[in-house]
Amino acid sequence: MRANTVFVNKSHSPTVFRFASLFNVAAPFIDRHIEEGRGSRIAIRSAVEDVTYATLAERVARCGNALLRLGVTPGERLLMVIKDSPEFFYVFWGAIKAGIVPVPLNTLLRANDYKFLIEDSACAALVYSAEFTGEVEAALAHAMRQPRLVLAIEAGGPGMLALIGEAPATLKAFSAAAGDECFWLYSSGSTDRPKAAVHCHRDMVITSQLYGVDVLGIRPDDICFSAAKLFFAYGLGNAMSFPLWVGATTVLLADRPSVQSSLAMIERFRPTLYFALPTQYAAQIQALETTKPNFSSIRLCVSAGEALPPHIFQRWQELTGTAILDGIGSTEALHIFISNRVGDIKLGTSGRVVPGYNARILDEKGRPVRKGEIGRLHIRGGSIAQHYWSHLKRKRCATVDGWINTGDMFRQDPDGYYVHCGRSDDMLKVNGTWCSPFEIETILSQHPGVREAAVVGRADADGLTKPEAWIVVNEERADPARIERELVQYCEAKLASNQYPQWFHFVAGLPKTGTGKIQRFKLRDADSANAAQTQR
C-alpha cells in the first residue's frame, strides 16, 4: 500500500481496516481532500470566516513548519488552550503532520488546573487563545515545570497566526505507523484528577468510520454543528474528525454555548447534524416552549456525556420533529461505542454495541453477570487508548487483554439493549441492594416542576446509606415545600422503597465538569447548611 493510506472494507460486518506500514493520520484527514479534488469545498464555517479544504491544508502545513522552526521536535507534547475556531484545526493537525503530539485542554479550567496539566504533561510548548491569557499566565507563573515555547494565537508579540503566515506552505508528513502515539486527551476529572489517554494515529479513522459513517451515515453534503466543544472526545469527533473524514462541513461556535447562541447558530448555518449534551437539550427545550426557530435543516440529533432521560427525547421530538440518538462513549475509547440507531431507538437505554466494538458486564469479582443484573461495563475496540500518561508512573496500562473498565455501571434489558445505571463511584447500596442514582434522577426529572436532578448517597442517623436528592426547579420562584411534597408522592408511586430520596435540597444549579457531567462527589462533600432540606 502507498504510504499514509488506509483500506476500509465495508463489505464485512464489522468494517475491516488495513493501514499502510507508514501512516500519518493528517494525510487522509487533510491532504487527501486536495488529491481527490475537494480543495474548493468549505471545510469550516464560523462567525469570522469560511475555510476551504485547500486553505485548511495550506495553513496546517504552515503551522507544522512554524512549530518545527521554533524548536518543537517530533514526539514532544504541545498543550492547546484554544477556542473552537479554525486555529484549533491548524495547530492540532499541523502538530500531527510534523510528528508533534497535540494535547487539547478544557478551555473552562482555572489557573490551578492548567498548572497541574503543564507539570503532568511535561510539555515542550503551549499555544493559547487570547481569551484565556489570564488563567494561562497565572498557571505558568506558578508551574514547577515550564514549557520552552509559549505562544498566543493572536498578534501581540510573536503570535502564532503571524508565524504561520511566514512559514512554508508545504510539509511532508512525519513518518509514523498507525499504532504510534498521535495525540492525548485528558479525562474530564469528574471524580479525581484528570488522566491523559494516549491515542494512536489509527484511532480517529476507526471512530469516524465505525460511528460517524456506519451509525450516523455522515456524508459529504452534511453540515455538522456541535454544542459540545472540541476540547473533549465527543466534540472532537462531532465537529472535527467526522466531517473531515468524509469531506463534509463543520460549523464552529467560538464562545461557550448558551441556549440563545446555539439556536442562533442553527438558524444561521442550517446544520444537518446537531450534537449536544443532555443538559443542553433540557435547557433548549425550555426556550423552545416560547420560541420557534427553524429546525428544518436538521436530519438527526445526537446526545452523549450522560444518559438521556426519556422525557427529554420525547419533548425534543415534539418541539423540533427530530429524534435524538443517545449513546455512550469515553475519552479512552475516543467516541461512542454503544448507541441507539436510526430506526432502532429504545428510550431509557444507551442502545446496542456499535459494530467493531465488544462489550461485557462484570461483577465485583470479574465474572459476567446475568442479563438484567447490574455490573461494570468493559469495552474492547480498535480506538481504545493503549495507556495513560503519568510523569510518575509512565505508560500505566489502561487495558487488560484489550478490555478497558469504563467505570460505568450497566445492565442489559431482556431485548439486549444496554441500560446505564450510573458511574461505579456513584452507585448506592441501600438495604443490601444496589441502587442506581440515574434511575432515581430519571423519575425525579419527569416531574413538571423539575429541570434537573442529581442523587447521591448519604448516611442517616444510624450510619446507613440512603438516597439524597438535589433539585433544580423549572419555576423561578417555585415553592420548594410544595414541590417536595409532590416529589415524595411521585417517588412512592414510581420507585422501589429503597430508592426513595430521604432528603431533598433545592439549588440554583448543579456542579458540572466542562463536558457537562454532574460532579456528584461535590454534592456528597457539599455543606448543606444553606440548602432547604428535610428528612422523611
The mean of the pLDDT values for the chain is 89
Amino acid at 32: R
Counting residues of the chain whose pLDDT is more than 70, the rounded percentage is: 92
Closest CA to 24 of 167, 181, 237: 181
237: Cα within 13 Å, side-chain hemisphere: 30
SS3 216: coil
Interhelix angle 53-69/86-98, rounded to 10 degrees, is: 60
Mean pLDDT of 40-54: 97
pLDDT value at residue 528 = 43
pLDDT value at residue 532 = 42
Mean pLDDT of 86-100: 98
Confidence of residue 37 (pLDDT cuts 50, 70, 90): very high
Question: How far is Cα 347 from Cα 316, in angstroms, rounded to an integer?
Answer: 13
DSSP run (H or E) holding 381: strand 375-381
How would you label 485-523 residue by residue, b for 16+ Cβ within 10 Å and e otherwise?
Answer: eebeebbeeebeebbbbbbbbbbeebbbbbbbbbbbbeb
Lowest mean pLDDT among 24-28, 100-104, 468-472: 468-472
Domains of the chain: 205-382+398-425 (3.40.50.12780), 426-530 (3.30.300.30)
Question: How far is Cα 264 from Cα 261, in angstroms, rounded to an integer?
Answer: 5
How would you label 116-139 residue by residue, b for 16+ Cβ within 10 Å and e otherwise?
Answer: bbbbbbebbbbbbbebbeebbeeb
